[in-house]
Amino acid sequence: MRQEDIVHFQRQIEALNDALHRKYDGLLSMTRADLGKRITPEIGTFTPLTRLSDGELRAVGSLYGVDGSTAGKGGAHPHYVLLFQGLALSTRGAEERVRKLYTPVLTDDDAVTAEKLADRYLAESELEAAIRIVEEDEDRKDPAVLIMDGGLLRYKIHARDKWEELRALCLREGVLLVGAIKDVKTREIASRTGKEGFYDREFLAGKLDYGELLLLAERDEEDAESKESAGLRSGFYRPSKRWEVVGLDVLEEQADRLVSLARLLFTLTPQRGRGVPYWIDVVDKRAKISPRDVEMLLEEGMDRDLMERFFVSERERRV
């Protein structure tokens, strides 16, 4: 990079630094006590979490983790192919995998539709794997807990029919369903406290004590894509010594188990980790599809000329 380029970028980065200070200094200086004053019972309640004892952990029946992975090859729309894999894994050894493939080359979907379909296929892969493991695990022990990687609302948004199928199945079979949310993208606390413009991740970072849960109060909500309308209850907690706060979702019919499920996730999360329950990390690694995997599968399963014509990008051709 030329010296002139470096100087120009440095000026822009310094301006960014100043803009971040202007927007966030008030929020970053807010203390735990300040947050406590803002959180009324109508907004939420604070609950300290304790780790499950060995006996309580043994009393948990079957524990399932569900995660998904996407990888692809190609260039600009529509000349790419995507592979999706959903994995449900039990600590007792049961395993279910669901695999899907999609390319807009064969469907003539426009770019917006293709993006929505990609979200749907990933969600469906995870939901179908979850449904299969609940239905087919002959060694399931009660009370069974099914942990999904991420918030539960996205399943209703992207794959409503499969989501309703899993929801009904869990309620019928008495399986506790919980979404473990590492990357919090909601603005619930900000909107409820009149601080619009901030994400919950930003608002709560460093404000909760280690092992503290902020359980959101239930409220009427007409937004079709809200958690309340999807029949979910939510909370945020700080599971590790790091400053991050993570979230969890449960079904409203199982809301009385939210604190116990938060304790389970808290127990499964390394104290100095990145906020992800250990079992979800295991599932994530086993579900992963790498770009090299996609490359190998295409090279072995397709005629070379077809792969070159449709799924090799211009960037890959550069010498």
Spans of all domains in the chain: 31-60+183-275
What percent of the chain is predicted at pLDDT more than 90? 70
pLDDT at 314: 62
- Nearest Cα residue to 177 out of 112, 102, 114, 261: 261
Tell me the average pLDDT of the chain. Answer: 92
Res. 117 pLDDT band, cuts 50 70 90 = very high
Q: What span, in angstroms and rounded, lies between the C-alpha atoms of 305 and 295?
A: 14
Decide: residue 231, CB within 10 A, 0-12 exposed, 13-18 middle, 19+ buried. Answer: middle
pTM of the model: 0.91
Q: Give the model confidence (pLDDT) of 217-264 as tens digits.
A: 887 665 656 787 789 999 999 998 888 899 999 999 999 999 999 999
State the pLDDT confidence band at 212, using cuts at 50, 70 and 90. Answer: very high
Q: Report which of residues 319 and 317 the model is more confident about.
A: 317
Q: What is the pLDDT of residues 197-209, one digit of tens each?
A: 788 988 898 899 9
Does 125 or 304 have the greater pLDDT score? 125
pLDDT at 4: 93
Instruction: Give 3-45 pLDDT, tens digit per residue.
Output: 999 999 999 999 999 999 999 998 889 888 988 988 989 889 9
The edge-to-edge listing of strands for the beta sheet with 63-74 is 44-48, 212-216, 232-237, 246-251, 176-181, 145-149, 63-74, 80-90, 95-102
- How much is the pLDDT for 243? 83
For the residues 289-294, what does the mean pLDDT come to? 92
